[in-house]
Amino acid sequence: MGGIADVAASLSKELRRLGHDVRAVLPRYRQIDIAQHGLVPVVRGLQVPLGTQPVEATIYEGRINDMPVYFVDCPPLFDRDSMYGFGDDDARFIFFARALLEMLGPLDFRPDVIHLHDWQGALVPNLLDRLYADGPLSDIATALTIHNLSAQGVYGFGALTLAGLEKWGLMRVGIPGLDDVVNLLGRGIHFADVVNTVSERYAAEIQRPEFGEGLDEVLRANVHKLYGIVNGIDYEQFDPGRDPYIPHHYSATAPEAKALDRAELRTELGLERVDRPLCAIVSRFYDVKGLDLVEQALPAILGLGLQIVVIGTGDRRYEDLFRRVASEKPGTVAAVIGFDPALAQRIYAGADMLWMPSRFEPCGLAQLIALRYGTVPIVRATGGLADTIKDFDPVASMGNGFSFEAYDPWQFFAAVVRAWETYRHHSVWSWLVRRAMSEDVSWSRSAQKYLQLYRSAIANHRERRGIAALEG
């Protein structure tokens, strides 16, 4: 679940605050304990079609911040050690899609829009279009959000039999990757009333072969309903004015206590107290995060005298790199291999700069948190990083961070140098910190865009059904 769960929970919370009836549905994985979470069965003995015979499910209901959350319980399919990665994942998530639709009748609930995420829910628009087009669910519109384009749910023809879609066959839309296999995400893009990614820049990037993961052609064919909406962050969770994990609180109008957080962070991590920027990496350790650029530029960056703190885990190569550099540069570099959410909050509060030189980044979360905490981001202009971080222009007094275009270690180094030079002008740096903290990166802004997306989904669905009725 991870990032998708965080996004769904935060967006749902904001939409409910605005007065909308929002409910969530997910499988009851083994990690979700019925007793611990106070789940109550609301639909028993639900017969869900799967292949040649139905499979029984129980629908449980729980609450998150008073929002109803439904759990599709089928132990043979979901009571497993992990959520994904099994040979029968096609059956598992086809079953989930059918169960989601079949439970609406017993629950007496007809949503205006069903909002799906990634390949695991992407078959729902196809099912509604083919199997439920003439029934009580025919007016439901669909919105599909793509978080991870590389995971597509690709299976053989047997998946159509499991879904009850075999009589319609493969899509045959003239697009490689959709004509010869069952690609659940590709079908979702084709059948959903609207599709969005988690930034405008990424929505444009994935229409190109180098970013499209083989689906660029189907995305271009559906560009008329493709949108980009940047995620927000929960301002109650990420608030330097009352964060329980940081020792000193501050705000955009009174940011002085950030210096106290920096001093305590240095003490906690064994870094020297010096008047130099403290740069942070809060990330998973993989090439896609641009850590190969960091590795190549690191000797030159250390030559500037900057301090660095790194927290994260991932590729052993980078874990070993940061351990080694920290041991070679005590007092200058600190490496925390693993992830401690409380320490991560203190790093956001205490650091001066955050590095995100990503190869690609659909949205990005760390740069949004950094802005909120007045930690100036240094990013590569890709995906959501390009949408949210604008390069600082001291002449025009514009921008909220530093960015570079080419995926090149020396462009990254040059951006770090520009940030270091700006830091040395304390009044200018203070202005930039306040500017960063003044940015609106809340879910309230993003939620308004999702409401417009849902309106577009409803309009598109009505128009499409009207055309189908005329053709019928």
The structure's pTM equals: 0.92
Closest CA to 119 of 87, 163, 151: 151
Helices and strands: H and E segment counts in the chain: 20, 16
Identify whether the C-beta of residue 14 lies closer than 8 Å to the C-beta of residue 443.
yes
pLDDT in tens, 285-320: 999 999 999 999 999 999 999 999 999 999 999 999
Backbone angles phi, psi at 153, to 5 degrees: 70, 70
Residue 281 shares a structural domain with residue 202: no
Q: According to the model, what pLDDT value does residue 180 have?
A: 78
Domain CATH for 132: 3.40.50.2000
Q: According to the model, what pLDDT value does residue 287 have?
A: 95
Residue 301 shares a structural domain with residue 351: yes
Residue 125 shares a structural domain with residue 219: yes
Alpha-carbon distance of 101 to 98, in angstroms, equals 5
Residue 360 shares a structural domain with residue 459: no
- 252 domain residue, yes or no: no
Residue 437 shares a structural domain with residue 316: yes
Residue 430 shares a structural domain with residue 452: no
> Which pLDDT tens digits describe the chain residue by residue (472 residues)?
456 777 888 899 999 999 999 999 999 999 999 999 999 999 999 999 999 999 999 999 999 888 999 999 999 999 999 998 899 999 999 999 999 999 999 999 999 999 999 999 999 999 999 999 999 999 999 999 999 899 999 999 999 999 999 998 887 767 766 767 899 999 999 999 999 999 999 999 999 999 999 999 999 999 999 999 999 999 999 999 999 999 999 999 999 999 999 999 999 999 999 999 999 999 999 999 999 999 999 999 999 999 999 999 999 999 999 999 999 999 999 999 999 999 999 999 999 999 999 999 999 999 999 999 999 999 999 999 999 999 999 999 999 999 999 999 999 999 999 999 999 999 999 999 999 999 999 999 999 999 999 999 999 999 988 876 556 5
Q: According to the model, what pLDDT value does residue 1 have?
A: 47
* Residue-range definition of the domain harbouring residue 386: 258-441
- 264 domain residue, yes or no: yes
Residue 202 shares a structural domain with residue 312: no
- N-term to C-term CA, the chain: 41
Q: According to the model, what pLDDT value does residue 458 have?
A: 98
Alpha-carbon distance of 7 to 104, in angstroms, equals 23
Residue 219 shares a structural domain with residue 273: no
- 243 domain residue, yes or no: no
Q: Rounded to 10 degrees, what is the CA torsion of 131, 136, 138, 144?
A: -80
Instruction: Identify the sign of the CA torsion 166, 167, 173, 176.
Output: positive
- 460 domain residue, yes or no: yes
Alpha-carbon distance of 16 to 451, in angstroms, equals 12
- 253 domain residue, yes or no: no
* 284 HSE (CA, 13 A, CB side): 11
Residue 380 shares a structural domain with residue 461: no
Residue 334 shares a structural domain with residue 202: no
Please classify residue 342 by burial: count the beta carbons closer than 10 Å to its beta carbon, then call 0-12 exposed, 13-18 middle and 19+ buried.
exposed
* Distances from the Cα of 299 to the Cα of 321, 332, 359, 410, 457, angstroms: 12, 13, 20, 12, 51
Residue 190 shares a structural domain with residue 111: yes
Residue 164 shares a structural domain with residue 279: no
- 249 domain residue, yes or no: no
Closest CA to 461 of 132, 113, 203: 113
What is the number of structural domains in the chain?
Answer: 2
